[in-house]
Amino acid sequence: MRLKTFGGPALEGTTFSRPKSLLLLAYLAAEGGGSRAHLRELFWPDVSDPAGNLRFALSQIRAAWPEAIREEGGQLHLGIPSDVSELLHAFRSAPEQVPMLYQGAFLEGLRLDWSAELEDWGLTMREHLAGQVRTHLIRQAAERHGQGKSDEVSALLRQAWRLPGARPLDAEELQALYALAALTGDELAGPLRQEARELEVPLEVTSRPAALAPVPSPPGALPLPPTSFVGRQEELRELHALLDDPDTRLLTLLGPGGTGKTRLALELARGRPGPPPVYVTLETVATPDLVPGAVALALGLKPSLAQGTLDLLKEGIGTRPLLLILDNFEQVLEAGAPLAGLLDACPGLQLLVTSRERLGLPQETLYPVGGLAHAGPDSEAAQLFVSRARRANARFRPTPDTLPVIAEICDRLEGSPLGIELAAAWVRSLPPAQIAAELALGPELLEAGEGKARRGLRTVFEQSWARLSGEQQRLASALSVFAGGLTRLDAAAVAGATLRPLLALVDAAFLRVSGDGRYALHPLLRHFLRQRLAADVEREAAAERAHAAHFTGRALDAWTDFYGGGRPGGQERSAGWGREEYANLQAALGYAERHGRAEQALDLTRFQSGEWINRGLMRDGIERLDRLLEGASDPASPSTRWGWLTRAQLQLNLGQPGPELTHALDQAITLARQAGDGACLSQALSGRGLLCAYGGDFSAAREHLHEAERVAADADFPYGQAAALVNLGAVANHLHDLPAVRSHLERGVALAGAHGFDSLEGGASLLQAEALLTLGDYASAERACLRTEALFLRLNRQHDLGFAYLMLGIAALWKCGPSQARAQGRLDEAQKWLSRSAQLLERGSVGQKMDLLRPGQGDVLLGQEAWPEAQLHFQQALDTAQGEDDTATMMNAHHGLTRVAHAQGHFPTALEHFRQMLSLTSHYIALLVGLEGAAATVSRLGGPDVAARVWGATAAFRQEHAVPVPPYFREGLDREQALARERLTEESFNQLLSAGGATELGAARELLLNWQSVGVR
């Protein structure tokens, strides 16, 4: 069963057709629920027994389908799927589904006039949903245009133009539709041009209209502008010139709040050539020490166990050119000094900062930002007023009489963009002359000396506040408890908001709404509204309490969605929600901590821990958990046992095993066993297994991980089972048990994929690909890598994607020997993958991921027999790695130089590099290849007997552990062994080979390191 609300409501799968009951179901679907009291007042305001009417309607619905409505915590919710809930989800997570889901106007043909408020709600919701759909249609049309799909563009344009249920096109929508129609040669351009003439909307065609920018997904992407950018062209020219100057390393846009610093910085960044800029908002960053973590998150860098966050930033940015935007820096000014060090370490880095105060750093270039130019009726400020007024009222037209008045308004506000936008919103009900009069009579509420612009801005705030109804004032002030934005459902849950008053606040310019339906308050307005809320202590306490309770519940739901599985993409949606709502979750956690609600705070930390790990805040999380666990009133509660597990997981990720970690795991295991909580127990046992593995006790690690898998399977907790299998595969890899590696990882990947654990499946598939490469199953390894590529592209995991490309390059080279690789064109394929990998992996990170012998661009040059170029490539890599103490890269560079020297007959040089390589590596794969190559060099230098013994040792190890010789090295090894046989008799060679089979790899390494040359043969 499914509720259909678009294009005519219906309860699909039934013959149910009662209009008021269908409207009730639609209301619950669109609003996310409602209390019985609210529903009675809304649907039956004038009847004698509204409670009886509601009960009767519910009984009718439940008779048709018992599960259609569920009740939780005094709230009624829709219990079945609906097209409106699917559309609301698609707005945020699956925009490509929007055109298909919107099948007509919301509640089309259904009677709405059961009450004035209910009719108003239905019509407002219809227009709002249609507006959201139109925004997505226009953006999709822009994306299809960029992809050259003209037929799809045409269909999307027509759907957006005459969208059922939508209000008339505003100026920006009309401009965007016309631009796309004109660019694609669509005949719709004619009617759109005529419509623009009637509305007096100027039309302009550019290759990429600003309104058509696609929705950004990765952290650090420039946020979409909610409105068009007006003016500031002279400032933009000056700022571009400053950034073009290599001496400009730190450019601060300095000015008071409301002057448009952020919009100017974003517009400047969008016009810069080169790599995409990275944007970091510091509005919700609480303390200066958290700034490096916020920057690392925006850059997609994971905190390293072996280095601080600043060192991670220096390594991750390196020498590459990068424009980094840091917005709202005034509240974290003490973070300026570390940034100065970052500029010194990263010569290609430029910082663009917005702040109300200067940073005071030697590298700082200050650029004061005031209001828009506001002299005269043609000023930039007047243009902004007209643009925003036409958004509020599409029929608004400036006249010769009103233009001077508009100029007076802008002058009174000294061009403040925020003040102008608020004042322009009044044109829905006031003419410009009356707006100017209201501002002239407004109270001068700031202290003397703060300036005309600040007093004018405060006047606009006060006058805009006064124009709100009592209900709207209560809602606006209640929304000030949100940090970092909110959704409509959040507003409903915390402040009891319905769509109508929310949209009224948007119309009044108190709220801004993005294309995906998320609302935001300007920081100055939020501060103003928080002052209004604080004037009523009881209301403030109730709003904070409701906010904390709401986000605690949502955090637990998101945790369940992340670990419960069953829905593709569920993990990424939950993690994305955690990133987006980080500030709100932190605010809720702070409330719980301040009010001594340890269990509530522990529930929040369970979900917050993942984001703390991403932001490198493990120590801060551990300190908070220690305080909360000490204050927990019920040691046996679910909150407490999961709190111990969360603390252990943070310390495991910190890489600091110790008695505190052991104690936390013991507590979690004991409490979970007592409670019969298999999910908690399986994860705690996995943590214990990892702790044993870190200490080198792989036998105990296996025991704990096997128990974790059994417990998770018995508890029907597939995430815990899949994670235990993946960890068992990693432990088996350390023990050189490659068949077990393959078996565990195959099961883990299959289980993760079946339950939609995308992140776990991706990581496990990378391990699986590495094992398959080691086993010589290159076709399966390639398939595993391509599977991870699709996953990581969808999840936007650029770093992990780099490793997938790296292993695809390995597979391309190792599938066959160098001569066959050249003949089959595999070198070009390998070069393609390796080049993509190099673009995504920061220098030195490969060695942190796996100590497997890796090829690179130098190996491709070797395959092409370009010896001088290959030697230069490897030597440069070696020099850089030595300066950074990057052991893995040093080992690989030495190995590359051995092959160059060997190919050119420079055997003493080759042997020296082999010895350096063997002294650096401990991984058995790299050790095997190094021993076999060094033995070949020793054979050429007069030691075929020693070489035969070493080859015997490596052959015995390969046979015992099922590790084949990669085809890429097989060709050369066969050739060198044939030469050694010629120097020795066949019988002697075989005897030495057999004797070497009893030699350990470590002894074979010492044999080669201590061997002395007797001359070249």
Q: pLDDT tens-digit profile of 503-554?
A: 878 777 778 777 667 888 877 678 788 888 988 999 999 999 999 999 998 8
Residues in the chain: 1017
Region of residue 107 (left: phi > 0; alpha: psi -120 to 50; beta: else):
left
The CA angle 978-981-983, to the nearest 5 degrees, is: 115
**910 within 8 A of 902, measured Cβ to Cβ:** yes
Q: Provide the pLDDT confidence category of residue 481 given band limits of 50, 70 and 90.
A: very high
Helix, strand or coil, per DSSP, at residue 326 = strand
**717 within 8 A of 679, measured Cβ to Cβ:** yes
Q: Provide the pLDDT confidence category of residue 855 given band limits of 50, 70 and 90.
A: low
Q: How far is CA 782 from CA 486, 773, 823, in A?
A: 43, 9, 20
Lowest mean pLDDT segment, chosen from 443-452, 507-516, 647-656, 805-814: 443-452
Lowest mean pLDDT segment, chosen from 24-28, 140-144, 238-242: 140-144
Question: What does the pLDDT read at residue 666?
Answer: 93
Q: How far is CA 830 from CA 302, 812, 824, 835, 894, in A?
A: 27, 5, 11, 8, 21
Q: Does residue 805 carry a pLDDT above 80?
A: yes
Highest mean pLDDT among 632-641, 666-675, 1002-1011: 666-675
Helix runs in 220-335, H state only? 233-244, 261-270, 291-299, 309-317
pTM of the model: 0.68
For 919-970, write each residue's pLDDT tens digit. Answer: 887 667 778 888 999 999 999 999 999 999 999 999 999 888 777 787 677 7
**Integer distance in angstroms from the first to the last C-alpha of the chain?**
82
For 301, how many CA atoms within 13 A lie in the half-sphere containing its CB?
27
Amino acid sitting at position 489: L
Written as six digits, the tokens of 515 are 């294309």
Question: What does the pLDDT read at residue 838?
Answer: 73
Higher pLDDT, 925 or 601: 601
Q: Provide the pLDDT confidence category of residue 460 given band limits of 50, 70 and 90.
A: low
**608 within 8 A of 555, measured Cβ to Cβ:** yes
How far, in Å, CA of 257 to CA of 398, rounded?
28
Question: What does the pLDDT read at residue 823?
Answer: 62
How far, in Å, CA of 46 to CA of 491, rounded?
27
pLDDT, average across residues 484-493: 84
For 78-136, write each residue's pLDDT tens digit. Answer: 888 888 888 877 776 677 788 888 888 888 888 877 777 788 788 878 888 888 888 88
Q: Provide the pLDDT confidence category of residue 216 given band limits of 50, 70 and 90.
A: very low
Amino acid sitting at position 377: P
Written as six digits, the tokens of 453 are 């612009």
Q: Provide the pLDDT confidence category of residue 713 given band limits of 50, 70 and 90.
A: very high
Class for the domain spanning 460-535: mainly alpha
For 611-630, write each residue's pLDDT tens digit. Answer: 888 777 888 888 899 999 98
Query: Would you say the CATH fold of 460-535 matches that of 2-113?
Result: yes
The CA angle 89-95-100, to the nearest 5 degrees, is: 90
Strands 512-513 and 322-327: what pairing? Answer: unpaired
For all residues of the chain together, what is the average pLDDT? 81
Selection from 871, 806, 814 nearest residue 845 by Cα? 806
Lowest mean pLDDT segment, chosen from 65-74, 810-819, 901-910: 810-819
Q: Provide the pLDDT confidence category of residue 557 given band limits of 50, 70 and 90.
A: confident
Question: What does the pLDDT read at residue 683?
Answer: 94
How far, in Å, CA of 631 to CA of 802, rounded?
44
CATH architecture type of domain 2-113: Orthogonal Bundle (1.10)
> 418: which strand partners?
none
Helix runs in 499-597, H state only? 499-507, 523-534, 537-564, 570-580, 582-594
For 980-1010, write each residue's pLDDT tens digit. Answer: 999 998 999 999 999 999 999 889 999 998 8
Question: What does the pLDDT read at residue 452?
Answer: 45
> 252: which strand partners?
353, 366
Query: In the chain, count of helices (H) and strands (E)?
Result: 49, 12
pLDDT, average across residues 209-237: 64
Q: Give the other-Cβ count within 10 Å of 208's Cβ.
A: 13
- The contacts of residue 810 (CB under 8 Å, 6+ apart) are 773, 781, 852, 854, 855
Could you tell me the residue ranges of all domains in the chain?
2-113, 233-368, 460-535
Q: Provide the pLDDT confidence category of residue 671 given band limits of 50, 70 and 90.
A: very high
Question: What does the pLDDT read at residue 950?
Answer: 94
pLDDT, average across residues 816-824: 62
How far, in Å, CA of 292 to CA of 278, rounded?
14
pLDDT, average across residues 372-385: 81
Helix, strand or coil, per DSSP, at residue 796 = coil
DSSP 8-state secondary structure symbol assigned to residue 897: H
**125 within 8 A of 106, measured Cβ to Cβ:** yes
- The contacts of residue 873 (CB under 8 Å, 6+ apart) are 857, 858, 861, 896
**Superfamily grouping for domain 233-368:** P-loop containing nucleotide triphosphate hydrolases (3.40.50.300)
> 364: which strand partners?
250
